[in-house]
Chain A
Amino acid sequence: MLSPLDSPVGKLLSQYVCVRITRLDDSDVGLFDRDWNNAIYFFALNADEQIYLRYGGRDSESPDTYLDMNSLAVALSQGLQMHESWRAGELKLPERPKPFYPREIPLLVQRTYASHACVECHLIGDFQNIQRERDGTLDKRSQLYRSPDIKTIGVELDVPKGLVVKEAKGAVASAGMRAGDRITALDGTSVWTFGDLQYRFDKVDRAAKQMKLTVDRAGSAVDLEVALPERWWWTDLRFRQSSVDPRTDFDDRPLSEADKRRLGLKPDGFASQVKYVSELAHVFKSHDLHVGDIVVAVDGVDRDEDANTADLYIKLRKKGGDSVKLDVLRDGQRIQMPLTTHVLSFRK
């Protein structure tokens, strides 16, 4: 049963018209744009279809890291306040986004509508990306590596309190963020919930070197210029059902500069050590890598402006199904071996 009407969340929800959508066939996914690998997501908006805020979002560790009844109540209260301001003509909101319907994605029509299957959330994002890959417009850093993790820049939220910072580390600590600050804007756009913050963080240009976070500190707005670390946009893709992710069936870690020097490798190369080999490597006959192998080059390439490991290089620069030749150091010997990637076709 949903929260009882006399519960805090129930009382707040009763002040809304609540709509539950479980099929996206006829939904305006342009209006309700989001990261499509979330099983549950909420929007508060007005009858002119202007969005006040989002509630939802996840990290690669768990689907519920940022879902919490208290933060939901905070978001619902905020939405009601914004609605009153809007009715009073005191709140200016961005224009409604251009409508976009799943039927406008040709591959979705061919494969999903044609078979009368359910248009599931993940299919929207994945077929959009497959289409982009075919059209040569796919930017994997932003469209495959969606929803960067705020922990990468050091933000640990006090989740029940919404955007109140529990601990500031790394890049945000260097920028001056403190525990107790409440994040209120990213690059000048207001954010009210984790869903808002993650959505706006996802919109940051992947080539950006810095961004501005605004926090409320004891009632005063404080702007913080955050220096973004290298590969701030990288996230673990394993929870995503993506078909533009060339699966390599191994995990690796970048070699330290000292190790690269010791092995006579380029200090700015992406040489990496294999830390894990999936059973799927044997099932798909993807490769013959062993734990401990050092991959020093892929198709003769050993450095890349974005990749710091061989696995990331393959994910960014190759297509699912591509075969490549690896240069590998094993037991002091340099050997070559083929690797064939594959793709996930979950419920497609």
Chain B
Amino acid sequence: MAVEPVSRRWLRRPSSPTVGRGSGRLEFLLILAGAAVVLLLPRVFGDPQGFDPDSWRLTAYFAVVTGAALAVRSLRAVAPLAFAFLTLAFPFSVWLWLLGYVGPAPSLIGAPNGLARNAFAGIVEMVLALVMAGCFHYLTPKPRPNLRLWVRPTLLMVVVGVGGTLLFLAIGFALPAPLLGREGVPLYALGGSAAVALGVANATSAIAQEIQFRGVLMSALERQQSPLAAVITQGVVFGLAHIAIQYEGPATSFIPIVIALGWLWGWMTVRTRSLLPAMLVHIVADFFVLAVVVSGLYGG
């Protein structure tokens, strides 16, 4: 039996009889455009962040769309995609909401007091993402999402992982600092709550994002598109989500890097059929990005 070339497999749309032939791009763009309206339109008239700092409106929007997709038979086909977006929004809103209890550090005078809560918020976000991914895994029809966590490490993986991280750091340090926002390190903040944030909260956040984007969203997209298109699309959404989250002017300069990283981690997930390598690389990358490259000057 002839083996199909990788390039052809990458470009092939799902051909399982259980999967329809529609591309679903319109539905995808509609859902995304609706999210943009919900997030941005209220800003024209006021400051929705004032009473909705955790972007609950985005969660509500995706919940309504998911509910409608599940309730209306002709829309049921869109339910996995809508649920995937809900899996992105809900854990994030809960995470922000829990962080809100910590409150912004008042000043240098006030000691940072968010150690336990920061870590707790990250763990809750990760668990929620995992639970929702589980729901997605068991409630949606075949083909089931690729959420295998374990993969046997190979020499190539280690070489690519270590070499890629070093290459990433070298490129990061070679580029002009203002381009990446690594003008400085807020030492006092790092000595307080951010130290834990870099440890526990950062790792849990990276794991949650891999489950959300490379796990659930990419799985939902793979039902409609070729693996290549799914990787590209989830990478773009990954980048856009970072704009929506940060919403700081300078943050836009590193969005292309985020999109590229989304593509890289998506490719790793598809190739290894596991989320674990992407999770590990994401944790390492986040640590260095937050500690050295983007040190908080974006307002984050």
Task: Indicate, yes or no, whether A interacts with B.
Answer: no
